[in-house]
A and B are shown apart, each in its own frame.
Chain A
C-alpha cells in the first residue's frame, strides 16, 4: 500500500519506526544510516534476517512489523500523521542537519513555506519585557512572511505562538512530548488550535510523556526545522541557551536579544561566528534576507 503523497509504502514507514525502536544507532544518527541505505526495510533486514518474527517496542506496546503498519493507520485515524526521512514531504531545513530524526509525528499539515521559518525561544519564566520582545519579534517575522516556530512551553514560547496567530501568520510548534500529551496542560487549547490550523510536530512516540531528556532533544529538532533561532530571554540552564548552541552546530544563524548580554553565557555566544546581537525582529529579518539571499554576492 502506498502513501498517496509520496509513494513511500506504509511498510517502509513501519520499518523506519521499527528501526527507531530497535536502535542500531543513536536516535539522532539513524536517519543518516537509512538515507545511505535508501530503504529502512533493507537496513532492518540486514540487522535481523527474520524480520517478520521480530518484536519491536513501539509506543508502550510490543508489536511485529505487520502490526506496526496497522499502528500507522491507527495513528492516522487519531489525527496523527507521520513523515519519515524517506518522504519528499520531510521538512526541507530539517533534512539538512546531521542529527535530524528519522521520523516526525505531526498534527495539522506540513507546508513547503515552512522552509521559510524562524524559531523564537526563551525562558518559561519570562519578564513582562521579555514577553513583549517575543511578541514584537513574532509580529515582525509574520509581517515579513516568515513562519514562527516555537516549543509551546509557558512564557516566551506561548507569547511567540500567540502573537503569530494574532498577526494572522502561520506558526509551528515542536513539542517535547508525544502528541497525545500537553505540556504545560494550560496550553492544551493553544496546542489544539495550532494542530488544527497549522502544525504541531514531535519526534517522540505519541504516548511519550515529557522527560528531562525529551525537551533538549526537541530543541535540536526545532533548530533544524527553522532557518534561524532567535533567543529572547534565557538563563544559563534554559533549553533556549542549548538551542543557540545547537543552531550554531547546524550552521544556522542565532540571534540574541541585546538584553541577554547580562548573562555570561550570552556574552560568550555573541562572540561566536554566526551569532548576532539584535534589538528587534526587524533586524532579524534584515539579517535573514542577507544570509538567505537567492543571489549571493560574497565579498572578501
Chain B
C-alpha cells in the first residue's frame, strides 16, 4: 500500500525539479564566486568583486529565477498557511538533503578539508527575527546528513541596519571555533552580503575554513549581462533537465 511507503528524499526533492537549473562552474562569462552571469573579461560579478571574500567556496544548488517557482518556494516556505508551508519546507529540505549527500565531499575538498566539523545557518537580519524565523534551522536540523553537526553558533548583533550589505558587525559567533571547518547553509544568495558577513564572524571566532551551500542563486532576468543578452536569456538557455549528479565544483 502506498500509505505505508514513506516519502523518500528522491521523491520529495523532485517536486520543484522542472524549475531547477544546475549552477554553472567558474569559467568565461560566469562569476567564479557565485555562479551568476558576467561580461567577459571579468571574473567576478560586481557584488562579489566589491565584497570582502570571507567564504572559501560558494555552492548554490540551483538558479532561482526572480518570481519563478523556486524563488517563490524559497520566499513562502517561511510564510503561508501551515499545510502549504509544510509542503514547501519539506521539498526544500529534501533538495538540501539530496544535494549534500552527493556533494558535501566536493565542497569540503574545495575548502581543503576532509570533512566539515560544524554545520550552521546564516541568521536572520535582526535578533527578533532570528528568534521567530526558525524554518531554515528546522530544515537543517531535519536534514540527516547534516543534523548531527548542526549548531547555532551565529547571532545577529542588531547593530546593523537591515539591508543586503556586507557588514563585519552584522553577526557574532557565540563560541570559539578555533581550527574548525564550518559548513554554512542559507536558502537564497542575492549579493552574498549576509553570507559573507556570517563567514567573517565565523573566522573571527577561529574557523579555519567556511564553505557555503545555498539552495537558490537568485537571478534577476532583466539584468543586462552583455550588449545582447540578459540574465533571463541566459537562464532560459540552460539545460532544462536538472542533474543531481553534478555540482559547480565538478
Contact = CB atoms under 8 A, between A and B. Distances in A.
A251 B8 contact: no
Given A274-B14, A298-B94, A96 B73 contact: yes
B69 A97 contact: yes
Contact of B97 (A287, A293, A297, A298): A298
Interface in B99-125: 101
A32 B70 CA distance: 13
Most chain-A Cβ atoms within 10 A of its Cβ — which of B2, B14, B90? B2
B83 A115 contact: yes
A274 B3 contact: no
B144 interface: yes
A300 interface: yes
Interface residues of A, number: 34
A300 B8 contact: yes
A48 interface: no
Contacts of A22: none
A98 B216 CA distance: 15
Interface in A238-255: 248-253
Nearest to A115: B83
B185 to A, nearest CB: 17
Contact of B17 (A29, A32, A273, A296): A273
B67 A98 contact: yes
A18 B26 CA distance: 44
Contacts of B2: 283, 286-287, 290
A101 B184 CA distance: 36
A291 interface: yes
Contact of B69 (A249, A273, A287, A296): A249
A96 B84 contact: yes
B161 interface: no
Interface in B42-74: 67-69, 71-73
A252 B17 CA distance: 11
A126 B179 CA distance: 68
A96 B76 contact: yes
A40 to B, nearest CB: 16
Contacts of A32: 67, 72
B12 A298 contact: yes
Contacts of B239: none
B9 A298 contact: yes
B6 A289 contact: no
Contact of B73 (A248, A251, A287, A291): A251
A98 B68 contact: yes
A291 B3 CA distance: 9
Contacts of B1: 286
A299 B83 contact: no
Contact of B101 (A29, A250, A251, A300): A300
B7 interface: yes
Interface in A103-162: 115-116
B214 interface: no
Given A96-B76, A251-B73, A298 B90 contact: yes
Nearest to A31: B67
B69 A274 contact: no
A249 B72 CA distance: 12
Contacts of B18: 248-249, 272, 274
B19 interface: yes
Contacts of B90: 296, 298
A292 interface: yes
A33 interface: yes
Contact of B3 (A96, A98, A252, A289): A289
B67 A29 contact: yes
Contacts of A272: 18
A92 B81 contact: yes
A224 B124 CA distance: 30
Contacts of A294: 83, 86
B199 to A, nearest CB: 28
Contacts of B5: 290
Contact of B6 (A96, A98, A287, A290): A290
A93 interface: yes
B67 A250 contact: no
A274 B6 contact: no
Nearest to A250: B69
Given A98-B67, A251-B19, A300 B9 contact: yes
Given A286-B2, A299-B8, 5 more contacts: A251-B19, A273-B10, A290-B7, A298-B142, A299-B7
